[in-house]
Structure 1
Amino acid sequence: MNAPIPSIDFLKHADAEATLAEVAAGLRAGTVIPYLGPGLTELSQSAVPMNPEALAAFFGIKVALPRRAKGNAWAAAQHIESNKHRSTVTALMAEAFASPVEPTALHRYLASLRLPMIVDAWYDGAMRSALRERSDWGEVQGITRAGIGEDRWYRFYDAAGAETDRAAASGWTTLLYKPHGSIAPARNFLISDADYVEVLTEIDIQTPIPDVVKDRRTERSFVFIGCRFNDQLLRTYARQVTKRSSTLHYAIVEPETLTKNELRFLFGQGLTPIAIPLARAVEILTAAG
């Protein structure tokens, strides 16, 4: 028997805008961490896939997919990897995200704040581009362990895109965390079902989460911007990345689009849902404090 759908009070209108102004103040103070999803990429009107469904459709154009893999980016990538080669998956991902994504006003604003951490859960390089005028930051990305012959879950890159190590990360003013990898600077992609098998096996004990991420999330809140939670994988990452941080978190949402599982997730995680169009939310977040 399915669990009943919880009743959630969405912050709307004046309440939503007032709360978002408080979140903006938290961003400026460094007490709130932005968690960016592909919805923010959509505001740039780029040619890259804007969400997992669009990425699955891209795979479907390039390769004939079985019914079970259609519409699911992770299953589609697994089918391609199993029937062709991992290098084919990487090449298709590189093709899908080849067009540079112009940073939005929010990307540029966040880059100006010198935040302790920015989480970016999509594969484009817009946030890295927004940060490129600075040199006091670096990036950690989730990597596939398939075929690398290494016992590593992630790699570190400095502002110039050169690979570095965890010791360097402790000195960065801002850490950009790309848990699923990115097109830039080195085409690291967690995308196939196989990529996530080991990660999801151990993520509950936090092994795949870098220590520097664990340190910087401590006692801080998160605000989810342009994120959906309509897939178990997305919900798992959101839950585990924010683990052992503050108990007060926010999500900018469009209530009419939310699935039953998303509503349960918002309720179960105690997220404060702010019902406001994303474009308007960006205006509020980037307004001078």
Structure 2
Amino acid sequence: MTGVPAPLTISDIRDGFAAGQLVPYLGAGVFGPDCAVPTTPIALSHALNARVAVSGRIRDNLWQTAQFIESRRHRKTLNALMAEIFRPEIEPTPLHRRLARLPLPLIVDIWYDGAMQAALLDAGRTDWCEIQGITRSGENRDIWTRAFDAAGTEIDPDTAGQFATVLYKPHGAVGTRGTVLVSDSDYVEVLTEIDIQTPIPEVVKARRATLGFVFLGCRFDDQMLRIFARQIAKRSAGPHAWVAEEASLTRNERLFVEEQSMVLIDAPLSEALAALAG
């Protein structure tokens, strides 16, 4: 992922999705401002803090806030709070519904909600599976992910290649089917191994080799988010694009764009999402 990126437009992305040549990499920003659940790591951190008070020094850091709660109140408390915060049912957006109807080999969704799963189910599809990153807390096995078919039945991750669409949720999902990565301790082993790709599912590695990534509703102002994006898109074919307003980018985000040879599509996210969903 080096060199000068070729031009890429919203129309190109729409066509690339329709052809199954580009991977939607979805962040919580794809939801509107009236979403019933938090849609940024800071907002989620504040929602946790509203339930268990943490130090003001860490209140804006989701991973540290979650770690404080896990350490002081037990992991079960953290899991229960996450379930409470994400209990409201979220209606899939027009983009989710559009993507659910397309022949996409791979969809990456980095937030904890279930909107993309709901859209796939509403589309009547059964030819997809979901792979979730999981916390290794309490695990005695060398395991990084769990996989489920459309009915919610756990399957062997090695069979994921049999499905037309793989929905990959690297940070997990709130719900009865899996667990989430959210506290500092959840990420310790993942970050130790992710550079050599151990936590990345084999089917993701295989499918990304011929695909490009389009980052929608994402921000990369946190090192954790940059690391995951970099490693998930590693050894992929490209092209790669990020829809974001250039004036809002931090210095680290600008450097990330250059490092990853991304096409930065400088446009209001809401307008881009509407165009892609139409």
| TM value normalised by structure 1 | 0.91
Once the two structures are superposed, residues 225-253 of structure 1 have per-residue CA deviations (whole angstroms, 9 ceiling, x without a partner) of 00000000000000000000014200000
Q: Partner residue of 1:50?
A: 39
Q: Partner residue of 2:49?
A: 60
Q: Partner residue of 1:120?
A: 109
Q: Partner residue of 1:91?
A: 80
2:5/2:262 contact within 8 Å kept: no
Q: RMSD across aligned C-alpha pairs, in angstroms? A: 1.7
Q: Partner residue of 1:214?
A: 205
Letter in 2 for 1:193: D
State how far apart, in whole Å, the 1-side matches of 2:5 and 2:73 are: 46
Q: Partner residue of 1:171?
A: 162
Q: Partner residue of 2:26?
A: 36
State how far apart, in whole Å, the 2-side matches of 1:213 and 1:171 are: 13
Once the two structures are superposed, residues 147-179 of structure 1 have per-residue CA deviations (whole angstroms, 9 ceiling, x without a partner) of 122210000011011111123311111000000
| TM value normalised by structure 2 | 0.94
How many equivalent pairs are there? 273
Runs of 4+ residues over 6 Å off in structure 1: none
Q: How does 1:64-143 map to 2 (within 5 A)?
A: 64-132=53-121, 133-143=124-134
Q: How does 1:153-172 map to 2 (within 5 A)?
A: 153-172=144-163
Q: 1:114 to 1:184 in 2, by over 3 A?
A: farther
Extract unaligned runs of 5+ from structure 1. 1-8
Q: Partner residue of 1:5?
A: none
2:213/2:238 contact within 8 Å kept: no
1:46/1:99 contact within 8 Å kept: no
Task: Say whether 1:27 aligns with 2:17.
Answer: yes
* Amino-acid identity (%): 50
Of the three residues 217, 222, 231, the one matched with 1:226 is: 217
2:5/2:239 contact within 8 Å kept: no
Moved more, 229-238 or 187-196: 187-196
